[in-house]
């Protein structure tokens, strides 16, 4: 992984932040993208301390023009993009009967269409180089469903379909495309869950704890590393056994 250039979306916090720090420790140069400028620059500074070239850029995945401009900037800064981690995402929880169309569109546009647009923008360079690694961060709820999260589950399930289809399209160019399905991870989102509900949730996890962002980052590092060169079209379930 040393000497490669990795673009990570949603890199300002949570899984994206942990992934950036992990890949920096593995020697990958980084281009970090997010809508949140200040925390993103903090992560970039920590990565630079680990001795890798790191750039922070602003991208709004709900805005196609922002994506186009952001990827052009990223390619200008990094010269190329060898690895892509589609991590950025939003939630818009509501029961389907109460979900507004604009909220459905916001989640699907950001989580699924945004990943499609970013991938489409970086793919030509990978094809020319006959090398590339793409990891899409899906979710365990894409595999098992979750009440009140129809839009989020649909968007993350769509990422799995995108992963498998694209893996077949680009395998001949030595580009691998895989997904990770994290379970319930200790992030800002899960910290907002009330204690009784959180205790019930943890009780359903065979390993008896929430995952950490670092647990997921380790999976990303594996899929981007040399040990995963013969793996493509797969979904790595990192859920502590919640989904088997």
- Active site residues per annotation: 152
> Chain-centre distance of CA 226, in angstroms?
19
Q: Enter the tokens of residue 153.
A: 């589950």
* Secondary structure string (H, E, C) spanning the chain: CCCCEEEEECCCCHHHHHHHHHHHHCCCEEEEEECCHHHHHHHHHHHHHCCCCEEEEECCCCCHHHHHHHHHHHHHHHCCCCEEEECCCCCCCECHHHCCHHHHHHHHHHHHHHHHHHHHHHHHHHHHHCCEEEEEECCCHHHHCCCCEHHHHHHHHHHHHHHHHHHHHHHHHCEEEEEEEECCECCHHHHCCCHHHHHHHHHCCCCCCCECHHHHHHHHHHHHCHHHCCCCCCEEEECCCCCC
């Amino acid at each position: 992984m040393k000497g490669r250039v990795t673009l990570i979306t949603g890199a300002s916090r949570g899984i994206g932040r942990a992934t950036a720090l992990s890949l920096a420790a593995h020697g990958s140069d980084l281009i970090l993208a997010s809508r949140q400028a200040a925390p993103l620059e903090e992560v970039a500074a920590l990565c630079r301390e680990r001795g890798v070239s790191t750039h922070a850029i602003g991208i709004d995945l709900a805005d196609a023009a922002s994506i186009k401009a952001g990827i052009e900037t990223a390619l200008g800064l990094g010269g190329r993009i060898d690895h892509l981690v589609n991590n950025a995402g939003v939630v818009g929880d509501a029961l389907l009967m109460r979900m507004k169309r604009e909220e459905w569109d916001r989640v699907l546009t950001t989580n699924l269409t945004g990943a499609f647009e970013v991938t489409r923008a970086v793919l030509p360079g990978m094809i020319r180089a006959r090398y590339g690694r793409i990891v899409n961060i899906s979710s365990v709820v894409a595999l098992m469903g979750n009440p009140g999260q129809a839009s989020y589950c649909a968007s993350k399930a769509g990422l799995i379909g995108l992963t498998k289809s694209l893996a077949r399209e680009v395998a001949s160019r030595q580009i691998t495309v895989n997904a990770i399905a994290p379970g319930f991870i200790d992030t800002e989102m899960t910290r907002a869950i009330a204690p009784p509900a959180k205790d019930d949730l943890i009780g359903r996890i065979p390993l008896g704890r929430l995952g950490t962002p670092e647990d997921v980052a380790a999976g990303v590092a594996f899929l981007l590393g040399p040990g995963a060169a013969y793996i493509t079209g797969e979904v790595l379930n990192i859920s502590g056994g919640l989904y088997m």
